[in-house]
Amino acid sequence: MQKRKLGKSGLEVSAIGFGCMRMTGGYGPVGTKQEMIKVIRGAVERGVTFFDTAQTYGPFANEELVGEALAPFRGRVVIATKFGFKYEDDGSGPRNVGVDSRPAYIKQGVEGSLKRLKTEVIDLFYQHRVDPNVPIEDVAGAVKDLIQAGKVKHFGMSEAAAQTIRRAHAVQPVAALQSEYSLWWKRPEEEILPTLEELGIGLVPYSPLGKGFLTGTITEETSFAQEDLRSRIPRFTPDARKANWALVDLIAAIAARKKATPAQIALAWLLAQKPWIVPIPGTTKLERVEENVGGAAIELTPDDLPEIDNATSKIPVQGARYPEDLERLTYR
């Protein structure tokens, strides 16, 4: 697979990465640990070199999974993880009790991530969500210390506002921003993309397939388990799905013309926006990995892109992308 560099950081990764979150829950049933390890290793065999996890996925179980799966390939892959949530254990296991990016907590947490990931250094360490109680300069300074100590290679941020990114970048260069970006969530185009281009920061879009909706496999009749995050998302109510199906129809029509799948068109569209954009679709199935990887081979022409943008701009997407409690954590 072709490679891309995340901005001016020099961090080179496969053009399509792999978001591992759903392999330990969040979007309904998953397979066994060994089945998920097989999928991750299958992705490596197909040219994927960029794998994304976080302390809070599980919590902690996802890092353990990724660490075990990638241990035989450590020299060939880039591992990104995230810090910034606090956990308490009441005897039933760790649970998230809010954001916490105090420097001491970051430095304490990195030791656990290194151990779980079975590695001596984390390639890309993102602040998962901005902590309004800790100056971003202090956060960037803490990661700078970790980089100087040889425990982290690159600093990243997630779902941060443009001005916050600028302030952090002035203390420790930000290699990449992870934010939701797709054909049904284009808010990053307003302020984020121009800021990243100016500063030389890469963009790593999560949910590039609209949490599965843009693939055309989720219909008005689809039901979600209670533990599936989409059961709480306004954009995934039956009425919203029915209204938003026009976007799926549009993508499917383009896919048919290109002899591709809707997922491949959605990924190809992201790749065509900027050469420093690297989407990280997630899946639990090897056949979907193969499909996603194929998105990097789809070429959208200078005529295709305006057509897609013009057509999608006429389709208003119904429903908020997150419940209110989760949306409050973004663009701070």
Contact 16, 128 (CB under 8 A): no
Structure tokens at 132: 């309004």
Q: CA-to-CA distance for 177 and 138, rounded, in angstroms? A: 18
Catalytic residue among 27, 57, 126, 181: 57
SS3 106: helix
At 89, give phi and psi (nearest 5°).
-120, 115
Structure tokens at 131: 């902590």
Q: CA-to-CA distance for 84 and 269, rounded, in angstroms? A: 31
SS3 259: coil
Selection from 158, 298, 282 nearest residue 212 by Cα: 282
Selection from 93, 74, 90 nearest residue 25 by Cα: 93
Match 């989720």 to its residue by tokens: 218
Q: How many whole angstroms from its chain centre is CA 175?
A: 15
Q: CA-to-CA distance for 246 and 244, rounded, in angstroms? A: 5
The β-bridge relationship of strands 122-127 and 202-206 is: unpaired
Please indicate whether residue 331 is annotated as part of the active site: no
Q: CA-to-CA distance for 45 and 58, rounded, in angstroms? A: 25
Residues annotated as catalytic are 57
